[in-house]
Amino acid sequence: MDINQLQTFLRVSEYGSFTRAGEQSFISGTAVMKQINRLEIELNLKLFDRTATGVQLTPQGKKFKPYVQQVLDLLNTAVEETRRVRTDDKRIITIGTSLLHPADPFMQLWQQVAPTMDKFQIRLVQLQEDLNSSNREYAMLGRSSDLIVGTFDSTTLKHAFSAVKLGSYQFGIAVRSDNPLAQLDEISFADLADQKVLMVPVGISEKNDILRQEMLATVPSIHPIDTSGRYDINTFNQTVEENIAMISLTPWKNIHPNLVTIPLKTDVTVAYGLLSTKFPGKKVADFLHEFIKVDSRQHNKA
């Protein structure tokens, strides 16, 4: 006796027909009849009376039916409870993601290290209202998500954040697709002479400040235009509407359909990684500790 036979028994009792029960199971009526025959032989019971118009439960079959239903219900409950325990055993880590702070760079690494960190499970959460609020993603750390993938430097880390470096983003210049700069394969500071260049104000990002100093020292005629703070969606819209250049980074090259991003010739890069609060709690701290250890081992093997 197996589970399929018991499930088939219930279907036949419900539909009163081997054929109709077979249709519900996507098998032939003959296959259903054979299953019932085997079940009756194994149990040494007659469960159905066969007639020319269909089948119906015998007194033995009627007595047997509620117990079969109980067995199958209990099995379903057991499976669901077991699955729930498996999930509960894992420690859920939430990673915030958005257009300006995509989680893709981490998720690519996670696929590699996940098999050796099986006590943790990653859950992605969409960062809300991040496109029109200056620095909201960072401010929501520890509340809407445990971690985000974001840029950082010494200026950022002064604001009560910790970071695990994953890599470095490259600077680029985003311009409207009909801007002459869009035709270049790479943009130098000389290409930006007498141009307006949208960028964050001094003091927000150490690396942006370094880039600004290098840019103006090389070509003093460049005109930096300050945003109101860190980038939001309005920054990209302003670049399109005013047809000016904008300092951009690797993950933002596809944010606006009317902008193209060309690599900027500079050695200045911006570190990015997993950002957390200074005191993220034991679960997140354990995750970061384990991730650093596993990621380091993989790099050593490479």
pLDDT at 113 over 80: yes
Q: Tens digit of pLDDT for each residue in 44-62?
A: 999 999 998 889 999 999 9
Lowest mean pLDDT among 9-23, 63-77, 78-92: 78-92
Buried b (16+ CB within 10 A) or exposed e, 157-169: eeeebbbbebeeb
- Helices 18-25, 29-43: axis angle to 10 degrees equals 110
Structural element, H or E, at residue 55: strand 54-57
Q: What average pLDDT does range 100-112 have in this prediction? A: 89
Whole-number CA gyration radius for the chain: 32
**DSSP code, position 192:** G
**DSSP code, position 175:** E
Q: What's the pLDDT at 118?
A: 86
Q: Tens digit of pLDDT for each residue in 260-293?
A: 999 999 999 999 999 998 888 888 999 999 999 8
Structural element, H or E, at residue 78: helix 59-89
Q: Are 47 and 39 in contact (CB under 8 A)?
A: yes
For residue 116, the Cα-to-chain-centroid distance in whole angstroms is 19
pLDDT band, residue 132 (cuts 50/70/90): very low
The Cα 48–Cα 17 span in angstroms is: 10
pLDDT at 39 over 70: yes
pLDDT at 134 over 80: no
Q: Where are the beta strands (DSSP E) in 79-160?
A: 91-97, 120-126, 147-151
* Token pair recorded at residue 47: 């469960």
Give the 3-state secondary structure of residue 264: strand
